[in-house]
């Protein structure tokens, strides 16, 4: 008898939301390992959220494409079937067209420049643009400057890249830009890439150092050239179905947690870069460190007319002007 009463009371309290222990577990997905820059960012975010909400919000980590490719994860976040994702901008422009401007090759000079833009008014404005598309952009994290790997030959200048079949992200700006290098861009979701490289469906791909390391691309690619041809931002996105239920205080906790995650994730990008060349050479890769960057920049220059038409020359100039 006693037992039954307790059960009813406990149930009643839970239904009324009175339980002090009420806990929500959020699913967070990303396309690299738990130990990668994405994983470290996601874990840091979740620790901060847990702390800041006194344990009311916790996460379950889904690394290694466990919830699908980046396009699928963004869709799921929109729908509310997935709570959080830490994704690159690869597929994001298909949902939020304004974001595509940051995918222009050779737009950013270096990490300081890129991070300043993403954390400044331009980047923050782009985060807000996501809201109208049913995506809550919490903070820009980072994937890193991208480099070309391939199985055919060492690339010293744009001339050497000519004719290579290169996997690209599902990103029109990248495809337009990389075409000017003379490569054949082949869009493909990330989860398919390792096998495609292994089987020779494509000759190469391009990605930041942390992705090359974390996915052991040295097993399927002989050549790496530090082309730095485009900056690859990433972003922590949250489903509106979670966001809309948060109190203002909790919203603040989530945003601050995302900003702290960005610091951790960016540091991992830098740390990986500082050890990568030695490590990848040890793994048998041939690494071209001093690429003729000018040849790539020259090749892509004509495409800037198209980018200016699409995004506005003033908007591109505003990004370039950030010091």
> Contact positions toward ligand EAX, by CB under 6 A?
31-32, 88, 90, 143, 169, 190, 207, 211, 232
Give min distance, CB of 30 to ligand EAX, in A.
7
Angle at 92 between CA 87 and CA 94, to 5 degrees: 155
Give min distance, CB of 317 to ligand EAX, in A.
27
Q: Judged by CB, which is closer to ligand EAX: 36, or 239? A: 36
279/272 Cα distance (integer angstroms): 10
C-alpha 257 chain-centroid distance: 17
* Residue nearest ligand EAX, CB atom distance: 190
Give min distance, CB of 232 to ligand EAX, in A.
6
Give min distance, CB of 105 to ligand EAX, in A.
14
27 — phi, psi (to 5°)? -90, 125
165 — phi, psi (to 5°)? -90, 110
Q: Judged by CB, which is closer to ligand EAX: 143, or 227? A: 143
Q: With 0-12 CB in 10 A as exposed, 13-18 as middle and 19+ as buried, what is 22?
A: exposed
Give min distance, CB of 144 to ligand EAX, in A.
9
234 — phi, psi (to 5°)? -140, 165
Q: Judged by CB, which is closer to ligand EAX: 64, or 180? A: 64
Furthest C-alpha separation in the chain: 83
Q: Judged by CB, which is closer to ligand EAX: 187, or 293? A: 187
Residue 220 near residue 151 (C-beta atoms within 8 A): yes
33/297 Cα distance (integer angstroms): 32
Q: Judged by CB, which is closer to ligand EAX: 102, or 253? A: 102
Q: Judged by CB, which is closer to ligand EAX: 85, or 288? A: 85
Give min distance, CB of 192 to ligand EAX, in A.
10
240/246 Cα distance (integer angstroms): 10
Q: With 0-12 CB in 10 A as exposed, 13-18 as middle and 19+ as buried, what is 201?
A: middle
Give min distance, CB of 190 to ligand EAX, in A.
3
241/82 Cα distance (integer angstroms): 10
Q: Judged by CB, which is closer to ligand EAX: 101, or 197? A: 197
**Do the strands 286-288 and 223-232 form a parallel or antiparallel pair, or are they unpaired?**
parallel
């Amino acid at each position: 008898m006693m037992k039954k009463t307790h059960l009813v009371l406990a149930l009643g309290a839970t239904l009324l939301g009175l339980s002090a222990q009420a806990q929500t577990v959020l699913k967070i997905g990303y396309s690299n390992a738990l130990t990668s820059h994405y994983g470290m960012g996601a874990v840091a975010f979740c620790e901060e959220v847990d702390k800041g909400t006194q344990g009311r919000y916790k996460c379950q980590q889904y690394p290694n494409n466990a919830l699908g490719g980046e396009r699928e994860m963004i869709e799921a976040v929109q729908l509310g079937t997935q709570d959080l994702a830490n994704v690159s901008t690869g597929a994001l422009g298909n949902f939020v067209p304004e974001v595509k401007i940051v995918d222009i090759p050779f737009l950013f000079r270096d990490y300081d420049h890129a991070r300043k833009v993403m954390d400044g008014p331009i980047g923050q404005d782009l985060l807000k643009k996501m809201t109208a598309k049913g995506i809550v952009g919490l903070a820009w994290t980072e994937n890193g400057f991208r480099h070309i790997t391939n199985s055919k030959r060492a690339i010293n200048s744009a001339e050497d890249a000519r004719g290579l079949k290169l996997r690209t992200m599902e990103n029109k700006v990248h495809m337009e830009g990389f075409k000017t290098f003379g490569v054949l861009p082949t869009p493909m979701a990330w989860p398919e890439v390792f096998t495609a490289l292994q089987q020779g469906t494509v000759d190469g791909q391009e990605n930041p150092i942390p992705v090359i390391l974390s996915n052991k691309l040295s097993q399927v690619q002989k050549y790496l050239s530090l082309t730095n041809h485009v900056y690859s931002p990433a972003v922590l996105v949250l489903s509106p179905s979670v966001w809309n239920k948060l109190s203002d205080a909790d919203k603040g906790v989530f945003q601050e947690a995302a900003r702290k995650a960005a610091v951790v994730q960016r540091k991992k990008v830098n740390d990986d870069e500082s050890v990568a060349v030695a490590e990848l050479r040890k793994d048998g890769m041939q690494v071209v460190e001093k690429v003729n960057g000018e040849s790539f920049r020259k090749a892509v220059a004509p495409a800037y007319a198209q980018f200016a038409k699409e995004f506005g020359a003033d908007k591109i100039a505003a990004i370039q002007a950030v010091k």
